[in-house]
């Protein structure tokens, strides 16, 4: 089927009506209606419930499947020509990655810096989005690799190549009034009266564990990114609760205490869509990570 049919179907869904889509793609409304009819006959299923002369539409179950697949098909074609042009110029291309917002800075430092030095002609599209948007981007083909601060939902659709567990830590300003012990660890109930600043990625886990333990913490702030949570601690306004690998180094004005509770760890993952062919650049980048990280860390 002509790929323009898919593009026009996407336009109908996203504009909410046949008439609006016809204006967007610059095609006569009767022609667009005929395309929709042709697609429904070809698919053997009703794709849209069209109301009021095409001014309002509703996706059927079959239409939802086609919409998601059409997004992927179109994204593949959009990326195809650029990738071929890049490859013709030497080893190059575009590496497209979805990342949880709190992970992007360390990911750039740990992996992308060395990859850029080795392959200077590659360029990058990094999408710093929550996990639900990562799933949508991966399935639609917008990105090829997902780096998340938790396992992706719908695990039957994804292949997880790398997994890493990170414990939650408490970060205190060295001038904090709440530093009552020189011990490198802290218990969960020691945090109950302290103003806490959580990164959103770990907030649900932390609060659930507190609830299970009948501990009622004083939450000063919940922050989209890990770096924002840490900023509160750096300003001595509260204590940051964030996930951290053992080798991570924080600012000299911060003191790190591991929270001693076996329930308090995050599972970070690097995933791809199961059964989908990766671009040469994506394959090379994954090999780069695996080759330089025998401990499978992300």
CA 230 – CA 223 distance, rounded (Å) = 9
Same domain, 52 and 139: no
Same domain, 134 and 262: yes
For residue 217, tell me if it sits in a domain. yes
What is the per-residue pLDDT across 94-104, written as a single tens digit (0 to 9) for each? 999 999 887 88
What is the per-residue pLDDT across 65-93, written as a single tens digit (0 to 9) for each? 999 889 888 887 877 776 666 556 556 68
Report the domain count for the chain. 2
Cβ neighbors of 152 (< 8 A, separation 6 or more) are 131, 134, 135, 138, 146, 158, 160, 269, 271
Q: Which of 222, 214, 220 is nearest to 189 (CA)?
A: 214
**Residue 294, pLDDT score:** 46
Mean pLDDT, the chain, rounded, equals 87
List phi, psi (to 5°) of 119: -125, 80
CA 242 – CA 252 distance, rounded (Å) = 17
Give, in degrees to the nearest 5, the angle at Cα 212 between 184 and 265. Answer: 45
CATH number at residue 12: 1.10.10.10
For 188, which DSSP code? G
Give, in degrees to the nearest 5, the angle at Cα 59 between 56 and 62. Answer: 150
pLDDT at 295 over 90: no
For residue 140, tell me if it sits in a domain. yes
**Residue 106, pLDDT score:** 81
For residue 78, tell me if it sits in a domain. no
Same domain, 65 and 107: no
- Expressed as residue numbers, the domain containing 187 is 92-298
What is the per-residue pLDDT across 110-168, written as a single tens digit (0 to 9) for each? 889 999 998 888 999 999 998 899 999 999 999 999 999 888 888 899 999 988 888 99
Same domain, 179 and 266: yes
Cβ neighbors of 75 (< 8 A, separation 6 or more) are 140, 141, 142
CATH number at residue 198: 3.40.190.290
pLDDT at 206 over 50: yes
pLDDT band at 58 (very low <50, low <70, confident <90, very high): confident
Model pTM score: 0.61
Per the CB < 8 A criterion, the answer to whether 269 and 165 are in contact is no
CA 226 – CA 241 distance, rounded (Å) = 9
Same domain, 135 and 181: yes
């Amino acid at each position: 089927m002509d790929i323009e049919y898919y593009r026009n179907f996407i336009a109908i869904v996203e504009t909410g009506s046949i008439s609006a889509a016809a204006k967007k793609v610059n095609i006569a409304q009767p022609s667009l209606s005929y395309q929709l009819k042709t697609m429904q006959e070809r698919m053997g299923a009703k794709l849209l419930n069209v109301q009021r002369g095409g001014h309002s539409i509703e996706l059927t179950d079959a239409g939802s499947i086609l919409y998601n697949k059409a997004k992927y098909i179109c994204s593949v074609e959009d990326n195809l020509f650029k990738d071929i042009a890049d490859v013709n110029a030497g080893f190059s291309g575009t590496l497209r990655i979805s990342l949880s917002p709190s992970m992007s800075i360390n990911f750039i430092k740990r992996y992308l810096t060395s990859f850029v030095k080795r392959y200077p002609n590659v360029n990058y599209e990094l999408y710093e989005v929550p996990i639900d948007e990562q799933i949508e981007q991966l399935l639609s083909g917008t990105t090829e690799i997902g780096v998340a601060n938790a396992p992706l939902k719908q695990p039957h659709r994804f292949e997880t190549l790398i997994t890493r567990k990170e414990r939650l830590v408490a970060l205190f300003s060295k001038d904090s009034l709440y530093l009552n012990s020189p011990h490198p660890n802290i218990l969960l109930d020691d945090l109950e009266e302290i103003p806490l600043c959580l990164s959103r990625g770990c907030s649900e886990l932390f609060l659930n564990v507190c609830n299970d333990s009948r501990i009622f913490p004083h939450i000063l702030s919940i922050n989209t990114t890990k770096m924002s949570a840490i900023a509160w601690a750096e300003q001595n306004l509260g204590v940051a609760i964030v996930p951290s690998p053992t080798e991570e180094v924080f600012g000299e004005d911060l003191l790190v205490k591991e929270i001693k509770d076996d329930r308090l760890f995050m599972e970070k993952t690097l995933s791809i869509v199961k059964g989908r062919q990766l671009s040469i650049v994506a394959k090379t980048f994954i090999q780069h990570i695996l080759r330089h990280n025998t401990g499978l860390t992300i």
